[in-house]
Structure 1
């Protein structure tokens, strides 16, 4: 049994993680049978390609500043300061967890696009203003600055709750101002988490796809959309591959810097007995007004796209195309049309099928790998751990290009099958990109189990399989369900990876919604995409509520108790 398991894991690692990426390098620089730098020379001669690289770096650097500024403020406003209405307002800031990517961009397009309410308001103030003002670098930065704060709301929120209140009280007693306390006491304790989300933000900006496609226009093209453009042309596919490799190299450099900097970090708690955190009232009146005002403005910014998607999903095609809503514009026809035929629901069925199967497969695979890593601590399992991190060091677009290039012909590693252009290659892509995150969470869950529990089961005569199923799995199931939920809701609206690998006859949800963001798209098509987005938000909300809500926690307590 162990040999079979080892063979399966080895085959997966080599066939899906190592071989496609090595083959991409070979096909790029040895396509003619001998080593050639012609693809790089071709890249250097392409002004569009070079500008896309520079634009991606600029975007990533700017987002590090803007996303951190917004994210830190959101966490302070909802968790640190005593803000009026914070209990209600925070749900708006968490909205990016239930819809993101192309779905979120669709919401911002409805609000700030040519027919959006903000644009119409600005036109009334200045009739000579360009109605296509919301485009280019500014638009992309604006949207992503608010769209990419999910990690801050998840991880920084958890970190700030663990801040020792004794240290804050001590600083107060020494006469420190609230600003000084935040700067010298609170923020330093958040450094490990803040550092991690900063790197994630930089990588997100570097490989951004949907936002630059929707709002970038011709004047602001980034790497991933450029790769997609080149990949669609047979004469420039080699340029797409080289650009993907450049993106991969930039990603590896950033992650290497992160790991080196993290090793040099020294973060310690200065108090041995911690006191639960209490929200702080802003003592300065002017400061209190300013913080409240900024909080409410951010609430409006986060809420408008969600409301726009929901409201427009209940309006007719005229309202959607013109942006003008009247009482007689409201209708249930869009929802009736969506649920009246299988064809209308096909994008959902496709994405739900991919999300469910890919999430289950990656959970099973990572469970087996994590179990082996804990049980057998040797050079083989340690090497396996490093190899399974390959997708973490490579952008999803490079993984997609690698799978497409490699499996475009018969390959012995996949039993001489051609996978490119089939429904299987997208499933493989989802599976591969979710391995690192799933493995990290699964390993943490395994290492949190007391070894004495397994030893007791063995002493009672239970075999390894029975011990795993009846003893180990019930303990780690909350973490497993949590990572399953996050993987599932991330796959449903995915566009970045999907657009490179999907089968044309089975169009996933992310591609369908992205197609609806174009200005030339029919209003009926946009209406269906709006309904898809609303249903997506409902599904994601239900999943997160079941996994992280009180109902699930109560069940979990009952099992453990």
Structure 2
């Protein structure tokens, strides 16, 4: 597009649209491009001169190098454990004929309604030093070590179960699409159940398993909540170390370098995943597919073992949720001693949350942040999607790629980039300082959720019938009126679903929040994490349990309205 045609288009556009698109371009430059370029300057340039001082400090820091080592160990370990458990869950719930499969699926899907810091705090509440299961084991075995749930193995255990939610969502969907005719043909040729599973079923699932493996590795590499709450000093990983270094001006460049290493690892792994997807071709060749029929395990011992395994995993998944709900209705003494007594059940915790402003404040802060960020990011991506839908040129392509930057960078790097960039006045934001303000966290929430929202909203736009807009134009409708009255009502249901998912995800966020929150306005994620500390008051722990239950209820409602109403399984 040349300058003359660009000027012609600008002249034909509504002034409000020009201002809106100008704000979008400013936002992209100010918060997506500039901070992520500026971070390189903070690391490699001091007083205008190139330096490797940060790299030298990193190599000489035993704690920093140990955290890098621990992060990669955790990531590789999770690839093995999460795939084993995740594939097992999907086979139990979707492939094999297991009694009570519907109930089992409900238990396995509990990680969809509570995750992150809420999930980790729940597991610590059950298995930690003061946890219910630990106290129970001490009563049975008086010499039992109460500090057993700590360090690498505790982090690996919790994250293994936390990360299977992706398998449960995506691998379950993939296995349902397997052509049953190929399975039946293999059986008719005399193939055993194990051979069919290994040579017929799993190869078809390889693309999904590869993608989930990369996502699991990245999750382990950037883990925050589990290592911070359960890892202790002996198992510190990259993100908690970045958080520690970012609090000091003298070590902020070290935090930035660690975040950059995390970002480079993310880019490399995403590149590998794309190459696997392009090279792999594991699709079924059958033209007429038949629905997969659950397979009976004919070996008696194998069938019993499968059922024991299925219900054993069910117990592991469901126990933290059940205990969080039960203890949220008990008094502080019962929570402190981890004992359930019928006489201790009360509604006082819930009454306090909704009647005391100090108790409700963290919830209110999170609701305001989540609502504001969700609305802003949806409005932003609606405008961008409209632009991408209407114009197809190098400028809109550059805009789209710029908005996808947060997808290829870990949230830690984005947070550090904002901290090191906006801790001093910058012309691009009117010589203001954002660090230490309530706006910084809101901006970060919007940035992190742009890529997912843009992909979903853009897909809705490009599924519209082009004749609708042509008809409206022929009737004399202006572009904005057409968008507001014709296009928006059609894409509104899917847009509201994305808004609900974003709202749900932000409510208990910890990974971004911990770097950027205002001390006077602590969101739920920070309060829930603080309640896991040994010195936390019993009343605080009681309120945290109530917060967790409310979050699980809201997550369940959100998932039902987004996914459940269209499900027939």
Q: What is aligned with 2:367?
A: 352
Other-structure match for 1:558: none
**How far apart, in 2, do the equivalents of 1:146 and 1:69 lie?**
11
The CA distance in 1 between the partners of 2:292 and 2:51, in whole Å, is 61
- Structure 1: distance between partners of 2:73 and 2:138: 30
Q: CA deviation at 1:456?
A: 4.2
Deviates more, 1:505-514 or 1:443-452: 443-452
Query: What are structure 2's unaligned runs of at least 5 residues?
Result: 1-13
Counterpart in the other structure of 1:190: 205
Deviation at 1:188, TM superposition (A): 2.1
Farther-moved stretch of structure 1 (30-39 vs 463-472): 463-472
- Structure 1 pair 456–283 and aligned structure 2 pair: CA distance change class (3 A): farther
* Equivalent position to 2:318, from 303, 316, 341: 303
In 1, Cα distance between the equivalents of 2:244 and 2:307? 44
Give a deviation string over 1:288-344, Cα, whole Å, max 9, x none.
Answer: 111111110111001011011111111111211121222322222211221221121
**Distance in 2 (alpha carbons) for counterparts of 1:468 and 1:190:** 41
Q: Is the 8 A contact 2:371 2:503 kept in 1?
A: yes
Partners of 2:486 and 2:251 lie apart in 1 by 55
Distance 1:71 1:453 in 2: 44
From 420, 428, 449, the equivalent of 2:443 is 428
Where 1:521 maps in the other structure, the secondary structure is coil
SS state of the match for residue 49, structure 2?
coil
- Counterpart pick for 2:129 among 77, 99, 114: 114
CA distance in 1, matches of 2:485, 2:297: 51
Q: Distance in 1 between matches of 2:475 and 2:178?
A: 43
Q: What whole-Å deviation, never above 9, does each CA across 1:347-406 have from its counterpart, x for those lacking one?
A: 111111111111111112112222322322222222222222211111111111111111
Alignment pair present for 1:241 and 2:256: yes
How many angstroms apart in 1 are the aligned matches of 2:314 and 2:165? 15
Report if the CA contact (8 A) 2:117-2:525 is conserved: yes
Q: Call closer, same or farther: CA 1:466–1:155 in 2, change over 3 Å.
A: farther
So what's the TM-score if we normalise by structure 1?
0.94
The 2-side partners of 1:486 and 1:466 are apart by 28
Name the structure 2 match of 1:559.
none
Query: Is this contact kept in 2: 1:482–1:548, CA < 8 A?
Result: no
Matched ranges for 1:75-474 at <5 A: 75-474=90-489
Deviations 1:497-551 (A, max 9, x none): 001001111100000000001112111111111111111111111222233333x
User: Which aligned pairs between 1:4-15 and structure 2 lie closer than 5 A?
Assistant: 4-15=19-30
Q: CA offsets, 1:445-500, max 9 Å, x none? A: 23333434444444454443333334433333333223222211111111010010
For residues 56 and 421 of structure 2, the distance between their equivalents in structure 1, rounded to whole angstroms, comes to 23
Contact 1:478 1:547 in 2 (8 A): no
Q: 1:223 to 1:327 in 2, by over 3 A?
A: same
Number of the residue aligned with 1:23: 38
Q: Please say which of residues 77-86 and 366-375 is displaced more in the overlay.
A: 366-375
Are residues 403 and 61 of structure 1, via their aligned partners in 2, closer, same or farther at CA, if it must alter by over 3 Å? same
Report the more deviating stretch, 254-263 or 38-47: 254-263
Indicate whether 1:508 and 2:518 are aligned. Answer: no
Kindly tell me the number of residue pairs found equivalent between the two proteins.
553
CA distance, structure 1, for counterparts of residue 390 and residue 555 of structure 2: 35
Deviates more, 1:71-80 or 1:452-461: 452-461
Q: 1:45 to 1:478 in 2, by over 3 A?
A: same
* Separation in structure 1 between the aligned mates of residue 298 and residue 465 of structure 2, nearest angstrom: 47
Pair 1:475-2:490 in alignment: yes
Q: 1:456 to 1:288 in 2, by over 3 A?
A: farther
Deviations 1:156-201 (A, max 9, x none): 1222222222222222222222222222222222222222222111
Partner deviation per Cα, 1:272-301 (whole Å, 9 max, x = no partner): 112223222222222211111111011100
Range with greater deviation from structure 2 (197-206 or 26-35): 26-35
- Distance (Å, rounded) in 2 between the aligned partners of 1:23 and 1:232: 19
RMSD of aligned residue pairs (Cα, Å):
1.9
SS of the counterpart of 2:50? coil
- Please say if 1:538 is aligned against 2:538: no
Structure 1 residue runs without a partner (length 5+)? 555-561
Map 1:540-559 → 2, pairs under 5 A: 540-550=555-565
- Check whether the contact 2:210–2:276 (CA below 8 A) recurs between aligned residues: no
1:91-113 CA-to-partner distances (Å, cap 9, x unmatched) read: 11111111111111111011111
- Is the CA contact (8 Å cut-off) linking 1:42 and 1:239 kept in structure 2? yes
Distance in 2 separating the partners of 1:127 and 1:257: 50
